[in-house]
């Protein structure tokens, strides 16, 4: 109880964009997309740091407002509540849907933005409650990207189905924020939205930013690996925080849209380094969806990755 109260309090204070100097760089913090967000920027100029922080938080909040499935005033709500009617989407949403469609094809159906309805029956709170076979099967009737009609820019989804950009939205926000910041500053920086991050270039002393991968068994307490990557996106998929226990196994929150069940046999945590955060995030999720084949999959992609 105490820990919960403390973390709530800390998150509360992070809601106000805060900028502070640490050693020879600035850290800006804010809260968006249900995650703590930070910007590290290698500058001595507070004004520049504040400007970049404002850009990062504005972009994070914009993307959250536009694509969160928890709001009633955005395009996702409109699509999910169209009751079978076609919806004309804007250019940005269209490209995001195209990206999701590519992910579906490339993963042979394992990455599916219509799989969110499965969360109605699954609760990943660390407990032991799993849904009945009947309820999973009932949900699966509303899952499947091929049932969606997508003729850019018109999207039509059957009644009872939903789309959800949760699997790519945060990474997209990271890349967008990074691109906007890069167009305003020459300084090296790291955008980190809840563990999905983008690192832009070497620091002034020629070194890379030190990025740690947490031990999934001890979230936030210790860094298992230290990454030294000059430029690119980093994202982690795993079961660190949201999982359910079943028959002595720990099942992470990533669901296989074909079975309706959490992926079995996947590593605890998969971190991928890619050219963009979206690439890293999607590959780590696709790898996770491979279960025991995660390592093999990533090897074939020729990316740098860390499996715990």
Partner 1 sequence: MRLQLEPGKAPKVSVRDALHGAALALLMIPASAQAQSAPSDRIDVTSLLYGEQGRTEVVEPVVRFTHLLPDGQSVSAQLAFDVITGASPSGALPSGTVQTRTSASGHVITSKAGQIPVAPFHDERVELEGTWHKPLNRLVSSDLGFHVSREKDYQSLGINAKVSTELMRRLLTVTVGGGVSHDTVFPTGGTPAGLSDGTVVNLGSNAKNVTNVLLGASRIVSRQWLVAVNGTETLERGYLTEPYKVISIMSHVNGTPIGELTDKRPSTRNRSAVLLSSVYHLSDDVLYTSYRYYWDTWSIRSHTIDLKYRHDLGDDSYIEPLLRYYQQSAASFYTVGFVEGATLPDFATSDYRLGRLRTITAGATYSFRPDFAAGEFTVRGQYMRQFGNSSPSNAIGIQRNFDLSPPVNIVAVVLGYSFDY
Residues in the site for partner 1, rule: CB under 8 A?
A: 24, 44, 92, 95-96, 98-99, 102-103, 105-110, 172, 175-176, 178-180, 182-183, 186, 188, 200-202, 204, 206, 224-226, 229-232, 258, 273-276, 278-279, 282-283, 286, 290, 293, 296-297, 300-306
What's the closest the beta carbon of residue 152 comes to partner 1, in angstroms?
Answer: 12
Nearer to partner 1, 27 or 283 (CB): 283
What's the closest the beta carbon of residue 159 comes to partner 1, in angstroms?
Answer: 28
Nearer to partner 1, 84 or 293 (CB): 293
Burial 148-180 (b: 16+ CB within 10 A, else e): bebeeeebebeeebbbbbbbbbbbbbbbbbbeb
Nearer to partner 1, 132 or 186 (CB): 186
CB 259 within 8 A of CB 130: no
What's the closest the beta carbon of residue 275 comes to partner 1, in angstroms?
Answer: 6
Cβ neighbours, 10 Å, residue 58: 15
CB 63 within 8 A of CB 72: no
Distances (CA, A) of 143 to 116, 134, 162, 259: 8, 15, 8, 10
What's the closest the beta carbon of residue 13 comes to partner 1, in angstroms?
Answer: 26
User: Which residue's structure tokens are 């380094």?
Assistant: 273
Nearer to partner 1, 38 or 276 (CB): 276
Nearer to partner 1, 31 or 118 (CB): 118
Strand extents, DSSP E, 53-148: 87-88
């Amino acid at each position: 109880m105490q820990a919960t109260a403390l973390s709530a309090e800390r998150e509360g204070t992070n809601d106000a964009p805060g900028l502070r100097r640490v050693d020879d760089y600035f850290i800006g913090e804010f809260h968006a997309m249900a995650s703590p967000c930070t910007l590290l920027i290698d500058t001595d100029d507070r004004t520049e740091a504040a400007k970049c922080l404002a850009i990062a938080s504005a972009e994070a909040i914009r993307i959250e407002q536009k694509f969160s499935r928890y709001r009633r005033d955005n395009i996702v709500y409109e699509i999910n509540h169209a009751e079978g009617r076609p919806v004309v989407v804007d250019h940005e949403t269209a490209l995001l849907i195209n990206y999701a469609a590519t992910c579906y094809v490339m993963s042979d159906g394992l990455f599916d933005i219509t799989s969110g309805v499965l969360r109605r029956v699954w609760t990943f709170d660390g407990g032991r409650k799993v849904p009945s076979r009947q309820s999973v099967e009932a949900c699966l009737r509303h899952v499947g990207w091929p049932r969606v009609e997508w003729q850019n820019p018109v999207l039509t989804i059957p009644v009872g189905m939903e789309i959800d950009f949760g699997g790519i939205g945060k990474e997209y926000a990271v890349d967008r924020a990074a691109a906007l910041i890069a167009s305003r500053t020459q300084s090296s920086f790291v955008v980190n939205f809840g563990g999905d991050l983008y690192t832009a270039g070497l620091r002034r002393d020629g070194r890379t930013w030190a990025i740690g991968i947490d031990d999934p068994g001890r979230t936030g307490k210790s860094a298992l690996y230290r990454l030294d990557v000059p430029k690119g996106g980093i994202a982690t998929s795993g079961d660190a925080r949201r999982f359910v226990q079943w028959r002595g196994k720990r099942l992470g929150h990533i669901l296989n849209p074909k079975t309706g069940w959490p992926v079995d046999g996947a590593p605890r945590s998969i971190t991928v380094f890619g050219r963009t955060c979206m690439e890293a995030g999607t590959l780590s999720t696709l790898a996770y969806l491979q279960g025991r084949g995660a390592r093999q999959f990533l090897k074939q992609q020729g990316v740098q990755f860390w499996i715990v």
